[in-house]
Amino acid sequence: MDRSYDIVLFGATGFTGALTARYLARNAAPEVRWALAGRNQAKLAAVRDSLAADNPGTADLPLLHADATDPASLREIAGSTRVMATTVGPYISHGEPLVAACAEAGTDYADISGEPEFVDLMYLRHHGRATETGARLVHCCGFDSIPHDLGAYFTVQQLPEGVPLRVEGFVRADGKMSGGTFRSALTSFSRVPQAAKTARERRRAEPRPAGRTVRALRGAPRHDATAGGWVLPLPTIDPQVVVRSAAAIERYGPDFGYGHYLSVRRLPVAVGLAAGAAGLFALAQVPPARGFLLTRKLPGDGPTAQQRARSWFRVRFAGEGGGQRVVTEVAGGDPGYDETAKMLAESALCLAFDDLPATAGQVTTAVAMGDALTDRLRKAGIAFTVVER
């Protein structure tokens, strides 16, 4: 409490950052000390004005200068707050200086990165220092990967303890992509060799759980009754996050496996999605093609409020172990923006105010916040339900 702020939001002038600021303005208690940070004070002031029109109590919200290219400014804001939340991506290009500043200052950090290379690099470069200072570095606090990480944890809690467990997650969603998300995805596609090298380095450096086995399951495309359609292996960061949670929490049992899939109802749709993803991946390897694609969606562009209102997500989990089987579901509204903003804001509030386990260094949402964050998200309208036992 010796710091000026409980939460600083970096990147509030971006599309998702502005939604996160609006969520905090509507849902943070009046006594929460929070501020907006960014490099363009005029744009920050415009965001604050829009918030004040909805909540007059935010008219005097502090505006802090910070620039991703100016490490000194990031060190200053990191030292001023208990929790730093950031939406400034692509994180592999812009994220490390803020992670470094928070690790050094002992400041808790939350982002919405879905970039495996960035998360692995931050572990290799800053986990050790954050462990020393007590900072909790929590990546993937949006749709990547909270529904999957906390959903798998919720599923495990419905199964017997001390036995081998297997969980599969089936993702179904409808939503549109913003310019910032599109840029992050293309950047990740173009850096596969670098990401693979960094992942190998992390595997060599990261200790494994003693006496326990955790692994990501490699499945094949198939029709699945639990998912209610065709499922395709989904090579996102989400299964990596789930497996890291399992490595840190003994409740996942002595032998835990997790498989992660995209679920669609019709086979032609599945084939089309696979072909489209392969084509986009191939184009991302060619610099001129990648540059052209990046002009199609600009940073700050995103779906309208009406489009977001029609968007939704459902992640269904099938868990087995100890002779028992359970099906659970995590569901909510617009996954990429409205719900991601909600998840990031609630993560920051949870880190700042809830009674949490004593952790430090780079940790997952399940490890850092677990049941406390699940309870917050339930109250905020994201459903965690048991569908079938």
The predicted-structure confidence for 102-142, as pLDDT tens digits, reads as follows 999 999 999 999 999 999 999 999 999 999 999 999 999 99
**Paired tokens of 10:** 């970096």
Distance CA 205, CA 349 (A): 31
**Paired tokens of 147:** 């529904």
Under DSSP, is residue 318 helix (H, G, I), strand (E, B) or coil?
Answer: strand
Q: What is the mean pLDDT of the chain?
A: 92
The residue whose two tokens read 């840029």 is 183
Q: Is the pLDDT of residue 47 over 90?
A: yes
Say what the pLDDT of residue 191 is. Answer: 83
Say what the pLDDT of residue 343 is. Answer: 98
H or E element: which one contains 313?
strand 312-321
Say what the pLDDT of residue 303 is. Answer: 87
Say what the pLDDT of residue 178 is. Answer: 58
Res. 282 pLDDT band, cuts 50 70 90: confident
Q: What is the mean pLDDT of residues 222-228?
A: 94
CATH homologous superfamily of 5-143+339-374 equals NAD(P)-binding Rossmann-like Domain (3.40.50.720)
Q: Is the pLDDT of residue 273 over 70?
A: no
Say what the pLDDT of residue 120 is. Answer: 98
Higher pLDDT, 375 or 176: 375
Any idea what DSSP says for residue 288?
H
pLDDT tens string 64-93: 999 999 999 999 999 999 999 999 988 999
Contact 7, 82 (CB under 8 A): yes
Say what the pLDDT of residue 159 is. Answer: 98
CATH topology of domain 146-334+383-388: Dihydrodipicolinate Reductase; domain 2 (3.30.360)
Q: What is the mean pLDDT of residues 277-287?
A: 71
Distance CA 330, CA 220 (A): 23
Q: Is the pLDDT of residue 97 over 80?
A: yes
For the chain, residues classed under CATH 3.40.50.720 are: 5-143+339-374
Say what the pLDDT of residue 287 is. Answer: 79
Distance CA 201, CA 239 (A): 18
Across 3-17, 149-163, 204-218, 263-277, least confident range: 263-277
CA–centroid distance for 32 within its chain: 23
Q: What angle do CA 280, 286, 291 make, to 5 degrees?
A: 80
- Percent of the chain clearing pLDDT 70 (strictly above): 92
Say what the pLDDT of residue 210 is. Answer: 92
Answer yes or no: pTM beyond 0.75. yes
Distance CA 295, CA 137 (A): 32
Say what the pLDDT of residue 297 is. Answer: 64
Distance CA 244, CA 214 (A): 8
Give the CA-trace dihedral at 75, 79, 80, 82, to 10 degrees.
120
Res. 190 pLDDT band, cuts 50 70 90: confident
Say what the pLDDT of residue 272 is. Answer: 76
DSSP codes, 74-140: HHHHHTTEEEEEE----HHHHTHHHHHHHHHHT-EEEE----HHHHHHHHHHHHHHHHHHT-EEE--
For the chain, residues classed under CATH 3.30.360 are: 146-334+383-388
Res. 265 pLDDT band, cuts 50 70 90: confident
Q: Is the pLDDT of residue 199 over 80?
A: yes
Any idea what DSSP says for residue 73?
H
For 233, half-sphere exposure in the C-beta direction (CA atoms, 13 angstrom radius) is 10
Res. 286 pLDDT band, cuts 50 70 90: confident
For 318, half-sphere exposure in the C-beta direction (CA atoms, 13 angstrom radius) is 11
Q: Is the pLDDT of residue 274 over 90?
A: no
The residue whose two tokens read 């970096």 is 10
DSSP codes, 323-372: TEEEEEEEEES-TTTHHHHHHHHHHHHHHHHS------EE--HHHHTHHH
Q: What is the mean pLDDT of residues 187-206?
A: 89
